[in-house]
């Protein structure tokens, strides 16, 4: 018997097992969604696609969604790119404030961002009423203006971080070379730096576009009369008339299609100019003083303050007395928090349990899958790689609908269980976990494992003894990030959850819907704490580089 053939086979069988798991829980639901959009809907026998093309409501939703995606991508780029450039190249008073930017997007879930903006600028908002009391009319925050403003301030940090990393990695010698050849400094920067940084900007812009298209929380809370794909997909799903599987599939398929087209366009643009980007020594930030420094510091401060507004208002809201939907600003109380912590703690407990299980499983599965992808390549691993990245292109609503359609009955009936919520969490965060573990594994040379094997330790024990310890800091950092994004998950879990299994974001969403902002803020404060505490512990006690892992 050939023992080496057996060890080779062990990895092959593990790959096959991973592929089957991914196939059942990612590919099968996706195929279900796409396939059932071609089935006959309603009594008149029209397919979902025929109805889509016939009813203006649906077409408007498609065009509104694409338009919103484009506008927010543009506004986030306009804020994120200059901010990144300024941070990378200049030193000015208050620059340290900008360093907390990535943190704000992480710790404030979208549903809380939407809620807090409403508490300020909604019909009953603090600012609206204060200005109204002075006789200054404030235009309605619902609809386009609210959608664009809130999404811009939620998503610009993605562009900022992507661009910042690229500019910092840009070899300044290229710019100096261009100048030495006679190009003026500004011209040199544009000629040499832009082409190198552009792929990073495009990649983060695409990410923002897909996030906007898939956004559920802000779209539902602020969309109002603006029809958006994610909103009507969800409405079709929960509709009183009995849910409409064909139409929900059709609408979900459309959003998959929009993201697919965006991915294709990005690939096409990037492939037209391919460079090998050599990472070099980035430029040192230059001091600026005087009026320009104040202007820069001022502009940066405005951006940061607006980013921090949700955090400040959720804290204030949680401690503000309320009578029904009316907030009595200035009257402080702990009643809201007592209520959510003592009388109705179920959403908190649910969130901790579901997200805890999902985070643990996610780390184990993504570490294993990444090990196969990086160290034990075989005929199956490209398919695993592709399937594990697929959820990136799917919105939470689509993943949720796919799961409900696929595991409602039959051999694996999960509807109504906690397992389907955990599964939704796992699938949504899988690409992130795998990418993170893979990049760590790429940095651990094969020779370390081989050295251990050559000294007489069998392969699996070698992995545990020498490779795993090296991965622990990265796994822990990834764990914190998976946790923070999982406890904030709304769009997939709201589709798959059943009564009594509300999580914090779901409960907050429902309270916002009923206009009970104070209680929503109290739950929001708990949610932010659940997110923030692991981050603080990880970065200060264990000194983990969480944002480097991103």
Q: Which residues bind other proteins (CB under 8 A)?
A: 2-4, 7, 445, 447-448, 450-459, 462, 466, 469-470
329 phi, psi to nearest 5 deg: -60, 135
- Least separation in angstroms between residue 450's CB and other proteins is 6
The structure tokens listed for 25 are 């829980």
Using the CB atoms, write b or e for 407-421: b if 16+ within 10 Å.
Answer: beeeeeebeeebebb
- Least separation in angstroms between residue 238's CB and other proteins is 51
Which of 13, 59, 212 lies closest to 5 in space, CA to CA?
A: 13
DSSP letter, residue 542: S
- Least separation in angstroms between residue 277's CB and other proteins is 24
Instruction: Compute the CA torsion angle 103, 371, 461, 427 (nearest 10 deg).
Output: 60
Nearer to other proteins, 8 or 130 (CB): 8
Give SS3 for 320.
Answer: strand
- Least separation in angstroms between residue 389's CB and other proteins is 24
**Euclidean distance between CA atoms 70 and 258, whole angstroms:** 12
Angle at alpha carbon of residue 162, lines to 158 and 165, rounded to 5°: 140
Nearer to other proteins, 267 or 377 (CB): 377
Nearer to other proteins, 133 or 469 (CB): 469
- Least separation in angstroms between residue 10's CB and other proteins is 12
Nearer to other proteins, 336 or 462 (CB): 462
The structure tokens listed for 91 are 């030193």
Q: How far is CA 209 from CA 71, 84, 261, 460, in A?
A: 9, 19, 11, 42
Q: How far is CA 533 from CA 107, 339, 484, 521, in A?
A: 10, 22, 10, 18
Nearer to other proteins, 14 or 27 (CB): 14
Residue 331 belongs to what H/E stretch? strand 326-332
**Euclidean distance between CA atoms 388 and 433, whole angstroms:** 10
- Least separation in angstroms between residue 337's CB and other proteins is 43
Nearer to other proteins, 148 or 457 (CB): 457
Nearer to other proteins, 305 or 448 (CB): 448
Nearer to other proteins, 6 or 342 (CB): 6
Residue 326 belongs to what H/E stretch? strand 326-332
The structure tokens listed for 353 are 């349990």
**Euclidean distance between CA atoms 160 and 307, whole angstroms:** 13
Nearer to other proteins, 277 or 476 (CB): 476
* Strand 326-332 relative to strand 90-91, pairing: unpaired
**Euclidean distance between CA atoms 517 and 115, whole angstroms:** 8
The structure tokens listed for 442 are 């790429």
- Least separation in angstroms between residue 190's CB and other proteins is 40
- Least separation in angstroms between residue 473's CB and other proteins is 10
Nearer to other proteins, 14 or 138 (CB): 14
- Least separation in angstroms between residue 454's CB and other proteins is 4
- Least separation in angstroms between residue 467's CB and other proteins is 10
Q: How many CB atoms lie within 10 A of CB 451?
A: 13
Nearer to other proteins, 261 or 470 (CB): 470
Q: How many CB atoms lie within 10 A of CB 517?
A: 30
- Least separation in angstroms between residue 8's CB and other proteins is 8
**Euclidean distance between CA atoms 504 and 518, whole angstroms:** 14
Q: How far is CA 509 from CA 443, 502, 520, in A?
A: 41, 10, 8
* Strand 90-91 relative to strand 320-323, pairing: unpaired
- Least separation in angstroms between residue 22's CB and other proteins is 26
Angle at alpha carbon of residue 330, lines to 329 and 331, rounded to 5°: 95
- Least separation in angstroms between residue 121's CB and other proteins is 52
Question: Please, what is the angle between helix 144-169 and helix 56-89, to 10°?
Answer: 40
47 phi, psi to nearest 5 deg: -80, 165
Which residue in the block uniquely carries the two structure tokens 């330790």? 457
Nearer to other proteins, 139 or 458 (CB): 458
Nearer to other proteins, 43 or 455 (CB): 455
The structure tokens listed for 366 are 């993504």
The structure tokens listed for 139 are 């235009």
């Amino acid at each position: 018997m050939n023992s080496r053939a057996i060890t080779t086979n062990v990895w092959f069988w593990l790959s096959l097992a991973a592929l089957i798991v991914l196939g059942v829980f990612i590919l099968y639901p996706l195929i279900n969604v796409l396939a059932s959009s071609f089935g006959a809907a309603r009594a008149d026998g029209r397919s979902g696609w025929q109805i889509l093309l016939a009813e203006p409501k649906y077409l408007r939703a498609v065009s509104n969604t694409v338009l919103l995606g484009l506008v927010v991508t543009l506004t986030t780029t306009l804020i994120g790119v200059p901010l990144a450039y300024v941070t990378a190249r200049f030193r000015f008073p208050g620059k340290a404030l900008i360093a907390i930017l990535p943190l704000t997007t992480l710790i404030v879930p979208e549903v809380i961002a939407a809620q807090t903006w409403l508490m300020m600028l909604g019909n009953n908002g603090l600012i609206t009423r204060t200005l109204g009391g002075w006789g200054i009319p404030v235009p309605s925050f619902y609809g386009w203006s609210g959608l664009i403003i809130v999404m811009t301030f939620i998503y610009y940090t993605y562009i900022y971080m992507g661009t910042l990393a690229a500019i910092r990695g840009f070899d300044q010698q290229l710019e100096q070379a261009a100048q030495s050849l006679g190009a003026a400094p500004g011209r040199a920067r544009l000629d040499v730096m832009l082409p190198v940084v552009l792929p990073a900007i495009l990649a983060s812009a695409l990410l923002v576009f897909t996030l906007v298209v898939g956004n559920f929380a802000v779209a539902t809370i602020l969309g109002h009369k603006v029809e958006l794909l994610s909103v009507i997909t969800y409405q079709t799903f929960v509709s009183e008339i009995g849910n409409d599987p064909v139409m929900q599939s059709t609408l979900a398929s459309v959003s998959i299609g929009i993201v697919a087209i965006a991915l294709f366009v990005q690939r096409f643009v990037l492939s037209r100019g391919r460079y090998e980007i050599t990472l070099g020594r980035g430029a040192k930030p230059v001091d600026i003083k005087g009026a320009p420094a104040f202007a820069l510091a001022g502009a940066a401060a405005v951006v940061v303050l607006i980013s921090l507004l949700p955090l400040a208002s959720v804290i204030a809201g949680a401690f503000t007395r309320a009578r029904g939907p009316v907030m009595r600003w200035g009257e402080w109380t702990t009643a809201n928090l007592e209520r959510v912590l003592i009388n109705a703690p179920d959403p908190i407990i649910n969130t901790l349990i579901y997200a805890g299980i999902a985070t643990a499983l996610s780390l184990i599965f993504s570490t294993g899958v990444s090990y196969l992808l990086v160290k034990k390549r075989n005929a199956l691993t490209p398919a695993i790689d592709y399937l594990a990245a697929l959820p990136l292109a799917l919105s939470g609503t689509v993943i949720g609908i796919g799961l409900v359609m696929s595991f409602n009955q039959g051999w694996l009936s999960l509807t109504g269980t906690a397992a389907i919520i955990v599964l939704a969490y796992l699938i949504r965060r899988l690409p992130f976990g795998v990418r993170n573990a893979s990049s760590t594994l790429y940095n651990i040379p094969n020779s370390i494992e081989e050295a251990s094997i050559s000294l007489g330790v069998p392969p699996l024990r070698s992995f545990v003894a020498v490779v795993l310890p090296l991965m622990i800091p990265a796994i822990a950092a990834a764990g914190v990030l998976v946790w923070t994004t999982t406890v904030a998950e709304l769009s997939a879990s709201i589709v798959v959850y059943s009564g009594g299994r509300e999580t914090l974001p779901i409960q907050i969403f429902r309270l916002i819907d009923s206009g009970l902002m104070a209680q929503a803020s109290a739950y929001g404060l708990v949610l932010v704490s659940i997110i923030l505490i692991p981050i603080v512990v990880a970065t200060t006690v264990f000194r983990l580089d969480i944002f480097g892992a991103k």
